[in-house]
Structure formats: C-alpha cells, structure tokens
Structure 1
Amino acid sequence: MPSIRAAARPLDAVDEVTVVSADEVLARKRVTAVDPYLRGHYPDLTIYPGVFVVESVRQAALRLLEETRPEVTSAVLVGIDSVRFTAPFVPGDDLRLRATCTGPDSARRVSATVTKSGLDVDDAPAAQVTLTLALFQEDGDA
C-alpha cells in the first residue's frame, strides 16, 4: 500500500497509531526531554510545542487515510479551524489523541481530543484540535 506523503515530516509526531474504524483513529506520542526539537523551547520548563500537537493530529489522520482510503495519494493540510490548549505536555507525558474524520470525498475535517497522562482528572482534554485536509488522487480530486 503506498504511503501518503503530502509534506516533509520534521518529526515523528506519533509513536503508535490504532485505526478504530474508517473514520476514527487513536494515537500516542511519548514526550521525552532528550528529543532534539525540545532543546531551548522554554528552557526552564521544557514543553512539547503546540504546533507539534497539531502535527500529531495531522500525522494520525494521514495514517487513518493510508489504511482506509487507498485511492488517496496525497492529503494536504488546508486549514487549522480551531485549537484550544488547556494544559502543557511536558517530558514524561503521554500525549493520547482520538481523532474523528468526516466530510466529503475531496476533504476531511479532522476533530481530535488530546489527553495526557498525569492529569488529576481522568482523560481531561489537554487540547482540542480541528483541522481540514484536502484529499487528492494521482489523477485529481479523491
């Protein structure tokens, strides 16, 4: 099965991905202080950058598309519709996300709830992300 590769991946923003259904995916990313991209990002309190949380959602959605939509050859991020952060991700945290993809054949709206280990409230959202991907086949729109 060909891999969807819409853009260079500056980092592996997901460690594990589980496709639940044709429209839902679960993913996990372990935040570690030794990852080179964290050096210098808030030196006194190292955090996983918010843009990387968005990238985690995007990469999880791409993996869902690879497994459930083999006719799709590229998926381009065309919009970040909303992002809300309520807690930081720090070294030692597990970023866990559940994303649902909906929409027409040529686009997918991806809505994700992102939680983390270590919160006092079980599964309290640390972030909510909604983005839109445009889907393409080799010969045009999907």
Structure 2
Amino acid sequence: MRTRVALIAHDRKKPEIIALCRDFKEMLAQEELVATKSTGGLIEELTGLHVIRVNSGEKGGDLQIGSMIASDEIKAVVFLRDPLTAHPHEPDINAVLKICDVNNVPLATNIATARLVLGHLKELQGVKELPET
C-alpha cells in the first residue's frame, strides 16, 4: 500500500530539497507528498506542489512520518540532513533511519542518493504494481 513520498530537510539543506523538487516536479506531482511543517511549506510555496504537512521536526513531525512508515504508507523518504551543523530543534535522523530499515523503505540522506531514489520512482510510475520486497 506504500503510496506517499516523505520529504524532510534540515534548515541548511532546504535550498537543496527545493531544487530537487523542482527537478523532479513532474514526477512528484503524481505522488502524494508528506513533509515536516516548514519544509512542506517551502516546497508548496516555491514549487507549487501539494504537500501534506505534519508537525515541525521539533514537535515530532519526524516521528509522525515514522509512524506512516511503520503503517506501510510511505514508499520512499528523502531526508536531507546537515551532518555538520544540525541544530537541536531539527528532526533526528536516527528514528527515521531505524524504521526505514525495519520496513525496507528506501531512505536518501544526501542529494546524490535522493536523485537516484526519485529517478527510480520516476521509472516505476508507469508500472501498475510494484513487486513485493
């Protein structure tokens, strides 16, 4: 039932996630997108894509997305993190990483892997049923 693509970005990575969404806009427009509050707001404002917004990272938005992953509602996650200067109020990668690994959901943590994951999803959009993993 995995239907959504989750988008999360630390503050310093928000310009990168916006650029990524612009580059994959046509493909992402065909997906149901979910994001943390400020990331989702920026994506909507700057790309025109519709995004379901959960709480901000500091208020548990990353955990809300984790719950969706555990409920088999997320087919891929892009979590562009800033490994060098992340702030305490920003979402924590560890819980998302763990639940993605437990549920075999692809997780991209940098722009290179994000492009690979979204590129693969773009290729699969024409396929009616995805093979079970």
Instruction: Tell me whether the two structures share a fold, i.e. TM-score over 0.5.
Output: no
Greater helix percent: which structure? 2
Q: TM-score, normalised by structure 2?
A: 0.24
Greater strand percent: which structure? 1
